[in-house]
Amino acid sequence: MNGTSAIRETAAHFFGDGNFTLEENRSGHINSTYFVNSEGGRFVLQRINKSVFTRPEEVMANIAAVTSHIKDKLIEEGKDPARGVLDFLDSDTGENFFVDGDGEYWRAYRYIDGVCLNTCDSPEVFSRAGKAFGRFQSYLSDFDATRLFETIKDFHNTEKRFSDLVKAATEDKAGRAASVRNELNFAITRYEHGTCSFISNGIASGAFKLRVTHNDTKLNNIILDRESGEGICVIDLDTVMPGSLLYDFGDAVRFGASSAAEDERELAKVRFVPEMFASFAEGFVRGLSGAATKEEISAFPRAAATITLETGMRFLTDYLSGDTYFRIGYPEHNLDRARNQFRLVESIEEQSDVLDLITKRLLNE
């Protein structure tokens, strides 16, 4: 379904035939997004990308369950749920989504005013981000994660990501395997040392609790208050699934505690910054309000290495497969990203004593 008139027709299933205006938001990478201005306020209208989320009804069922739970928590605390959690509208079908004539899934939710940042240069801002994601975990710490669907299978199954890499190297569809022997050996060595299985083994043994996890803990998935700079609401809930809070922690610091962009080609510029790690970890633990276990907090440094390795393997797998998943700007883009992430893993390993001291301090506070 294309064209403004067709989109207005879809919007009417949420907003009726009244007076409203549409404007496209081109900043998103996955879903098609529009702002709707109506007499009832400002809203967001989105078409769910079925190429990424093949079972949209399960995505929306997860979101409904999680947002309802958080809303109840906010009300208990005397806070405004309209500011603290996404509020999805029901369409005229009675569902929190609408399926158009082309089989496309749409949803709408109330717009929350605030600021979203794409980069983080300040430990203070990163600490606030950690607090927001920790609070998200805290609100859901008593939610039975087994109630949720796994909307993207094996999303953070690092061992499976390693198997995918080995398969891509064996098949060598793009004829590139011979040129990345060093990178493959890097991944193999970490696999043999247990980096890939660290979190999954912890979940299986019960050392790490199975929790609701966000799974996409970038800074721009938090709405910050314009005046205080504090996190208001965690957004982009499509990847909410069962998992470990170490997934969320590891992915956040992988991005926010790096000294360089994830496609920086000069590897001498790539370093894991302990000060940024400490800032996020302190905020995260503060937001968790006692919901994390000693085992989980102690695992923060190794979780950072695991999720960073996983991301690097995903980039390398895509490079070997002919760049079919990640958007690239030039032929070696995914290879540069993989090398960047592997260098970051090395930096985490080199500073493991420092990072362990940071987590020990958190446990003693």
H and E: helices and strands count for the chain: 13, 9
Domain hosting 104: range is 4-110
**Closest of 35, 335, 79 to residue 231, by C-alpha:** 79
Residue 198 shares a structural domain with residue 296 = yes
Residue 28 — very low, low, confident or very high, per pLDDT cuts 50/70/90?
low
Residue 118 lies in a domain: no
This prediction's pTM: 0.93
Residue 216 shares a structural domain with residue 349 = yes
Residue 223 shares a structural domain with residue 352 = yes
The pLDDT score that the predictor gives to residue 261 is 94
Radius of gyration of the chain (CA): 21
What is the mean pLDDT of the segment spanning 280-286?
A: 98
Backbone angles phi, psi at 22, to 5 degrees: -120, 140
Residue 131 lies in a domain: yes
Q: 190, 313 in Cβ contact below 8 A?
A: no
- CA 263 to CA 259: how far, in whole Å? 12
- CA 199 to CA 250: how far, in whole Å? 10
The pLDDT score that the predictor gives to residue 27 is 63
Residue 115 lies in a domain: no
pLDDT digits (tens, 9 = 90+) for 36-87: 999 889 999 999 999 889 999 999 999 999 999 999 999 999 999 999 999 9
Residue 116 lies in a domain: no
pLDDT digits (tens, 9 = 90+) for 151-176: 999 999 999 999 999 999 999 999 99
Out of 58, 88, 110, a domain closes at 110
pLDDT digits (tens, 9 = 90+) for 293-346: 999 999 999 999 999 999 999 999 999 999 999 989 999 999 999 999 999 999
The pLDDT score that the predictor gives to residue 1 is 46
CATH number at residue 151: 3.90.1200.10
Kindly tell me the burial class for residue 298, based on how many C-beta atoms sit within 10 Å of its own C-beta (0-12, 13-18, 19 or more).
middle
- CA 302 to CA 73: how far, in whole Å? 31
Beta-strand relationship, 222-224 and 105-110: unpaired
Domain count, the chain: 2
DSSP structure class, residue 118: S
H/E stretch holding 298 reads helix 294-298
Does residue 230 have a pLDDT over 70?
Answer: yes
Residue 247 shares a structural domain with residue 191 = yes
pLDDT digits (tens, 9 = 90+) for 124-152: 999 999 999 999 999 999 999 999 999 99
Residue 248 shares a structural domain with residue 344 = yes
The pLDDT score that the predictor gives to residue 342 is 98
